Structures are given as C-alpha cells and as structure tokens.
A and B are shown apart, each in its own frame.
Chain A
C-alpha cells in the first residue's frame, strides 16, 4: 500500500470517527450494558447484583407483562390498518388536482410536528367522559355520554384513533411520493382499455405501492410497539390495565420502581417480538 493510500485511509477514518464514536457511546455501550443488566438486579444507586435467569423466570410468570403485550397487539391491530387505509385514501385525494392542495397537504402534516404530549393532553380533554367536548356534542344530539377512556373496551381503540390522526401525515407524504412515482402512461393505457377507477386502483395503484406499503407497515409497527406517551398521559395504563402498553410497563419498572434489570429484560423481549412480527409482515407483503 502506498503512502497516498494510507493518507486516504486516515482521512476516511477521521471522517467516520465522529459516527463511530456516537455509535459506541450512544448505541453499542447502552445495548451491551442493557444485556449485562438482563442477568442482574440493579436499583440505580447500589451496585448491580447477579441474579442469573431470575428476570426471565419472572417475565414468563408476570401476568401484567402478558396483559401489556396483548394490549399492544390490540393497538397494533387497530392502528396499522387504519393508518394504511386512511393514509392511502388521503394521499390519493391529495395527488388529484384539487383546490388549495398545498394547504391540505400542510394541514394533514401539521399533527406530526406538534408535540405528542400536547396533542395527547388536548385529546384527553376532548375524550373526558363527564366534561369532554365529544360527549357535550353528543349530548346536544340527545346521545348518552360515551366512556371513551373510561371503558376497558373503548379506551385502547380511542387511543388508536388519536394516534392514527397524529401520525397519519407522515405516511400520507410517503404514499404521496409513491403515487407520484407510478408512471402516468399506465393509467392512460387503462383508460383506453375502458377500465373503472376501482380497477385502476386494484390492478395498478395498489401493486405499485407495495414497496411503500411495506415501508409504512414496518415503520408503523415500530411506532405502535413503542406506544408510550398516549397511555402515559391519557390513562396511565387504565382502565383496569386495558391501555398498559409494553413500553409503559417497562418504563414503570425502570424509572418508578428502579428495577433496571427487569426493565432491560422486558426491552430485549420486546425487541425479539418486534423482529418476529416484522419478519411475518415482510413475508406477506414482500412476496410477488
């Protein structure tokens, strides 16, 4: 190797050094330390104590954890289809020649950039059973108050509706980009063939949006499994643990109860479950 090559290598290393440093400090070290904690009990202020597989044993027998996982899957089952369907519908409308197109595009994106905590507090007030605006409006129409956040059956769907409204703007942008990439001549040919708009959607739009769809579903899955701020602010995990998500449960163990080892175990279990779900999604969405 010549001196010139070595110099080029050194420059390359210098350029990548900040990233490597960032990776080591903020990703690799926390990850390795979390893995170390999986086998330890640690309350933050006294030295960690080795406990072997005790945290795994507790996890397997912890009914509250499995309840939290079930709740998260219920959220996933409502949130992801709703997000995909509404995002595609709105993206298709925004791809058309409509009046005030830029305004509508900005308006749908606005909730994405507003702080999650602020949005959640506002929606909690809207949803309030006895003093919320939704129920006051229903009352004007003579309809009895709905227990949006105080019924075990409705609380998680209510949170899913709010989360869909909050996040949809981002996925609309992705679908919009996907729609604009579909060659216009395909629609022109189908028009000559005399197909309906539904047939165009089903046989042209949807198949060609499949890569975007995979991206949206995978990103939504990550987002849905990370469900935290909404139940944390709106319900605290209630009523009767029906909105306790896995991440909220992990947070409680880590930062309320200082069970850092157990929280790390929940974190690794969640990562494994997300990997499994994404692999299943990829299998079905990525196949021709």
Chain B
C-alpha cells in the first residue's frame, strides 16, 4: 500500500516539471491531426521549457460553434489553427483574440511569408492583423480524366465550353444517366461556398460578396454566375440531389467543385481513380486571371492565454518553411506562402505531386470570405435565392440577387 502511495506521489511531482504548458487546437480531420502531432512532437523536443499539448477541436456540426462556445465559457486554447477568417469579426468584437501587431517581428514573420497583398485580405477594419494566414484550399473544377479522355473533351474554360462538355456527356450512349456535375440543392449556407461563390468570384475577377457593408454580389458577375447554375439545372446538366454522396467517385458525374484536400480523400476511397484540376469556368467574355474562393484557415492566439510570447514563438514555428512542407506532404493543403509554386525548397514535392502544383499556382489568385458578423446569414439569404432562381427557376437571377441584396441591407439596418 505504502509503495503505491509513494509511486503516485513520485509521478505527481515528476509531472510538474515547472515547464510552461500551451494548449493548441487543431482541425479534427485525420491528416491535420497527424500534422499537429508531428509538429508538436518536434516543438516539445526542442523546447523543454514550453511544452505544447495538442487537441483536435471537439467534433460537432462546425468548428465555429465550438470556438464560440469556448469563447463564451472562457475555455479557449492558447493557439488554434482552424480559424475561418469570415468569423473573425465576432472574435475581434468580443476581444477574444490577440492583435499580432503587438509582436515586434510580426512583419517579418507574417508579411515576409505571405506577402502584403494576401495578408491585407485578412486585416481587420481597425487596421490590425489578428490572424496569421496559414493555408488555403483553392476551390477548383475537378474532372474525371478517364471520362474526358474517352469523350475527347478538354477541361471547360468558359460557360460555353462547360455547356458543350455537359451536352457531350449527356449524349454518351454508352453511359446513359451520367450528369456533368452534382450541385447540392440544399440551402445549407456553406453549400454555396462550393458552387455559387467560387463561380461569382471567378466571374468578377476576385470580388467578394460585400463592399462597405453593402451587397456587391448584385452585379453583372453575380447574375452571370447565377444564370450558369440556372441553365445547368434547367438543361439537366445537374441532377436534383439533396445527397450527392460520392457520385463523382462512382463515375455518375464527370466534374466536381472542390479543393486539393480531395486528393488524399479520393485516393483513399478509390485507388487508381483518375482526376485532374482546372480553374473554375468563367463567362465567355471574361478576360484576366481566374480567381476563386481560397477556403483559407488561419491561426490565432486567444486573449485568454497566459503566455502570449511563448504562444507567438509556437505560431512562428507552425508557419516555418519546414512546417509548411509537412503541411503540404501530410494534408495536401497549400500554405499561404508567396510564390510557393516556384520556390525551389518545395520543388521536389511539387515534381512528385503535379496536382498540388496546380493548386499552389491557383493559390496566388484566391480570395477569402468577407469579414462580417452577418456572413452566415448573408450566405443563407443567397442560398435561398439560389434555390429560387437556379434550382427551381421560379424567379430570374436578376430578381433573386436584387432580393438578396435588399435582405442583406436589412440585416445591417436591423441587427
């Protein structure tokens, strides 16, 4: 009995070595957990005085809900690397995150890595930078190369190209019942981040939804994107599906809209599946580089931290050149590092992973979502109008966007 008692006491004291302990929350997908574990292990080995404890964000409907709950209950971690920039407005309003400008070397660490142009997209209205731009998943057109090869098709660059490809796919007598692409008919707000929004961004040359707290989407580019989806549903290029499941992998559709995170996912679910990436199709008269939604996730230091300096050092470690290579290798997501596609340090990796090189090149032409406390509701409004104008075609795209713009304005006026 006495032996057990002293053993417990020994381990209790052995555990309290006097080292600072930081808590780090990462995304709960298996690849990012693996990355987090690796980086934390490396950090802990080289920093015995600042030990980091990693924890995946508890599984729920969305990470944002968990983070909001943690802010309310003041149980936020020191560092989190799964921050959707669009919800930063709420975080900064409630003073839940630290301004990184306070750290003297932030310019070198953040601007030096990301570049001022991209970093500015994440600057808050007060001019401060509360988030470290970390990684992105440029949303692109994914196409089944076997189907395209068999039908003699090239990846569509414009809406007309897309329509021609869709007609060819539908006319394929060997594979009746195959569609061009699956577009969710559900009105869940985030669904529009993988259909209307990237097409809108592409059609407008990189515009986001809002401009000075007003709707910018009620524009020719917005109408063009909405009309593209309306025509697709009308001409049966897209099936009426609430649940799309894996029908792209099953070969029931020839195209999909997704980011490079699907590379590992597709290869795991269907080894040997042939696919490639192409930029999002644009209106026929569009000129210039093709932009898209970047689906970025960033890093923040929460204001509840007792160790801001040590947390900042850990954040800098997470965005180091070597850590970015691990990010590419383990998650197939693209670090927001300028000129990464042509950086010789990553050349070997991109030579072995040409699909990722395409994504990295696209990453130079991405935009995030607007930082607005009403963003989810705005996307919900657009989703409702997308359903009315594109899926069921009961109103025109022009009217749908005008209604959405009016409702968006009402949000700012009322809430």
Contacts and interface: CB of A to CB of B under 8 A. Distances in A.
Interface string A99-128: 000000000000000000000010011001
A37 to B, nearest CB: 14
A44 B240 contact: no
A46 to B, nearest CB: 5
B387 A239 contact: yes
B68 interface: yes
Interface in A195-216: none
Contacts of A43: 90, 373
A60 interface: no
Interface in A20-44: 41, 43-44
A4 to B, nearest CB: 46
Interface in A215-254: 234-241, 252
A128 B242 contact: yes
A32 to B, nearest CB: 19
B72 A237 contact: no
A259 interface: yes
A44 B384 CA distance: 25
Contacts of A124: 242-243
A46 B92 CA distance: 11
A58 B71 contact: no
B68 A130 contact: no
Contacts of A238: 185-187, 387
A239 B241 CA distance: 12
A44 B72 contact: yes
Interface stretch (B26-34, B147-155, B208-216, B388-396): B388-396
A128 B187 CA distance: 16
Nearest to B411: A257
Given A130-B239, A147-B240, A236 B373 contact: no
B189 interface: yes
A258 interface: yes
B184 to A, nearest CB: 9
Nearest to A234: B242
A266 to B, nearest CB: 15
A130 B241 contact: yes
Given A41-B415, A259-B415, A130 B240 contact: yes
Nearest to A252: B380
Nearest to B244: A131
B414 interface: yes
A149 interface: yes
A190 interface: no
Interface string B169-212: 00000000000000001111100000000000000000000000
B192 to A, nearest CB: 12
A239 to B, nearest CB: 6
Contacts of B268: none
Contacts of B388: 240
Query: Could you tell me the dominant secondary structure of chain A's interface residues?
Result: loop
Interface string B372-398: 011011001000100110011010000
Most chain A CB within 10 A, of B239, B243, B247, is at B243
Contacts of A240: 387-388, 392, 394
A13 interface: no
Nearest to A125: B243
B94 interface: yes
Contact of B239 (A125, A131, A252, A258): A131
B65 interface: yes
Contact of B185 (A152, A239, A257): A239
A150 B185 contact: yes
A127 to B, nearest CB: 8
A50 interface: no
B68 A236 contact: no
B352 interface: no
Contacts of A259: 415
B376 A257 contact: yes
Contacts of A1: none
B96 interface: yes
Interface string A4-28: 0000000000000000000000000
Given A45-B93, A129-B241, 12 more contacts: A43-B373, A46-B93, A130-B239, A131-B241, A234-B242, A235-B186, A240-B388, A240-B392, A256-B376, A256-B377, A257-B376, A257-B380
Interface of B: 65, 68, 71-72, 90, 93-94, 96, 185-189, 239-243, 247, 373-374, 376-377, 380, 384, 387-388, 391-392, 394, 414-415
Rank and list the top 4 A-B pairs by shortest CB-CB distance, nearest first: A45-B94, A130-B239, A129-B240, A236-B186
30 contacts: A44-B68, A45-B71, A45-B90, A45-B94, A45-B96, A46-B94, A124-B243, A125-B243, A128-B241, A128-B242, A129-B240, A130-B240, A131-B247, A147-B240, A152-B392, A234-B242, A236-B187, A238-B186, A239-B387, A240-B387, A240-B394, A241-B384, A255-B65, A256-B189, A256-B376, A256-B377, A257-B376, A257-B380, A258-B68, A259-B415
